[in-house]
Every structure is written in structure tokens, then in C-alpha cells.
Amino acid sequence: MPTILITGSNGLVGRELIRAFDKLPEYTVIATSLSPDKITMPDVAFHQLDITNRQSVAQLFNDLLPNVVIHSAAVSAPDTCETDKELCNRVNIEGTQNVADACKAIGAKMLFISTDFVFDGAMGPYSEIDIPNPVSYYGWSKLEGEKITQQLNNWSIVRTVLVYGDTVELNRSNFVTWVKGALEKGENIKVVNDQYRTPTYAPDLAFGIVKAAEWLVYNKGNEIWHISGPLPLISVYDMALKIAAFYNLDSSFIETIASASLNQPAKRPPVTGFILDKAANHLNYKPIEFTKGLEKLGL
């Protein structure tokens, strides 16, 4: 029975992965994260692990001998990476190196979770063969993580786009909960109208990652996978309008704004989104569109 170890299990993506693998009796699942466990599940062992501590990572992997490590832990906020490059380096690059080295030492396969922010956003949507060219420190650090991963013998990279899901128990907001929460309180929000994405329903992403992990377990080859919501591209502003319409909230509180006027520390790629043909053909990946995702979220 393959053992899967997941880093960043307290995160939006990590938590969804734990849920997905927990439903599959053919896998033993080990959750790890920096902080104490936020998602206690009876069948899932949890170990607190700081990936920047090289010795701890090596020791834990050696004790538990996972077959596949899904590396989801990261500083995932682009603005934090831009303003605290030292932290970003330590977690996203050195931490990933520690995970990769520990995988190498025990012969584990590594699946790295990456991002559409490795692209410059000039020509989205992107397929797996398009050339990365990050415009932010976060995007650059994740691309470095991809390169570290690709040095192993057995690896997989899953890139994804703007993930939304139920984050209530995680103490973490995402775009849907942010817009819904603000409109419910009657607060004005500014939303960009010049960034286009294929937003990803977290359980769909988890399904795609499970399939990509399976691909790795059965030695089908080292691959980059694009796993996101479906095309067509949707602007972040249109997403906000759909959220307002879905929850019957007043959209007049939503103000459109150009990205340049927001003065965020990290530059965002304007048009990303993914072409999903490879994942559809080989992993049977069929994501749901945004409004359907809102329905399923049941917030």
C-alpha cells in the first residue's frame, strides 16, 4: 500500500488533499504542517514539520519512508514573498530543496504543487509546453522549486490557478469568502478588471493531484500537469459579480479597478488560465465551472 506524505496539510490545498486521499483505502496518508493540526482526521497521522529545518525533514522522511511526497507547503501570498524575500527564499526554495534531498535519500517520488504565476500573463491561457517567465518574486521562487523538483529521478509538477474552497476551519480567506463576507457587511471592495483566470474548485484540484500522484506511483513518467478550472477565462471582476449574483448580494459595492492602481507589492500576471487537454486526456480530469463550484461549496 503506497504511503503518501503531504506537506502544508493545514493549507487550503493540503487540507483538500488529505480529504481526497482519506477516501481512498489503497493509500496510507501522512499529514505534515508547520503549525499544530487544524483538520484532525481519525485515519490520518499528523506530524508537525518545519520544512526549513533540513535535519527534521530528513529525519521524519527516514522514519516514515513515504513512497510519494506531495509538497504543497509554501509562502503562498505573492505580496509576502515580494516584501519578505528572505522568508520566501527560506521556505519556497531552501524548504523545497530540503524536501527534495530527503526524498532522494530514501528513494521517494516527489510531486510539487506550483502555480500559474510562473508565467508572465502576456499570452494566457497556457499549456504545459509554454515557457515560464515570472513577473513576481513568488512566481520566481515557485519556478526555482520546479527546477529543484526536476533534478530528482521521479517527479511530477502540478500547476494550478486561483483556488477557491471552504476555508472556514482554516482561519484563511480566499477570493469567494472575501467577496461574500464584504458584501454581506455592505463594505465597498475594489476588484481588478484586467486579470483573467480559470479559477479552480479545491476538490477538483485534489482529484487532479490524486490522479497525477497515481501516474507517478505506477511509474508512467515525469510530467508537468496543468490542473485548474475550465476555460473560458473569466476576469476577477466577473468572478466577484458572479459571487454577488449567486448569493443574492448587492453588486453595487464592487468597484472595478485597474491592477496598476492597486499598488500591490507584487506584480500579477494579467492573463493566465490553463489549457487542460493533457490532464483531460491522461488523467480524466473534468473540472466544474465557477458558478457550479459556488453551488457545491454550500457556504
Ligand X SMILES: NC(=O)c1ccc[n+]([C@@H]2O[C@H](COP(=O)([O-])OP(=O)(O)OC[C@H]3O[C@@H](n4cnc5c(N)ncnc54)[C@H](OP(=O)(O)O)[C@@H]3O)[C@@H](O)[C@H]2O)c1
Q: Could you list the residues that contact ligand X (CB under 6 A)?
A: 7-8, 10-14, 33-35, 49-52, 72-74, 76, 91, 95, 113, 115, 142, 160, 162-163, 172
Closer to ligand X by Cβ: residue 205 or 250: 205
Closer to ligand X by Cβ: residue 115 or 195: 115
Closer to ligand X by Cβ: residue 84 or 238: 84
Q: At closest approach, how far in Å is the CB of 4 from ligand X?
A: 16
Q: At closest approach, how far in Å is the CB of 25 from ligand X?
A: 25
Q: At closest approach, how far in Å is the CB of 1 from ligand X?
A: 25
Q: At closest approach, how far in Å is the CB of 221 from ligand X?
A: 22
What would the 3-class secondary structure string for the chain be?
CCEEEEECCCCHHHHHHHHHHHCCCCCEEEEEECCCCCCCCCCCEEEECCCCCHHHHHHHHHHHCCCEEEECCCCCCHHHHHHCHHHHHHHHHHHHHHHHHHHHHHCCEEEEEEEHHHCCCCCCCECCCCCCCCCCHHHHHHHHHHHHHCCCCCEEEEEECCEECCCHHHCCCCHHHHHHHHHHCCCCEEEECCCEECCEEHHHHHHHHHHHHHHHHCCCCCEEEECCCCCCCEEHHHHHHHHHHHCCCCHHHEEEECHHHHCCCCCCCCECCECCHHHHHHHCCCCCCHHHHHHHHCC
Q: Which three cell numbers stand for residue 17?
A: 488533499
- Phi, psi of 144, deg, nearest 5: -60, -40
Q: At closest approach, how far in Å is the CB of 232 from ligand X?
A: 19
Which amino acid belongs to residue 51? I
Closer to ligand X by Cβ: residue 113 or 244: 113
Q: Which residue is nearest to ligand X (CB)?
A: 11
Q: At closest approach, how far in Å is the CB of 99 from ligand X?
A: 9
Q: How far is CA 156 from CA 68, 124, 159, 226, 262, in A?
A: 10, 22, 10, 11, 35
Closer to ligand X by Cβ: residue 116 or 223: 116
Which amino acid belongs to residue 271? V
Q: At closest approach, how far in Å is the CB of 170 from ligand X?
A: 7
Distance CA 156, CA 178 (A): 32
Closer to ligand X by Cβ: residue 151 or 188: 151
Q: At closest approach, how far in Å is the CB of 208 from ligand X?
A: 12
Closer to ligand X by Cβ: residue 183 or 209: 209
Closer to ligand X by Cβ: residue 32 or 67: 32
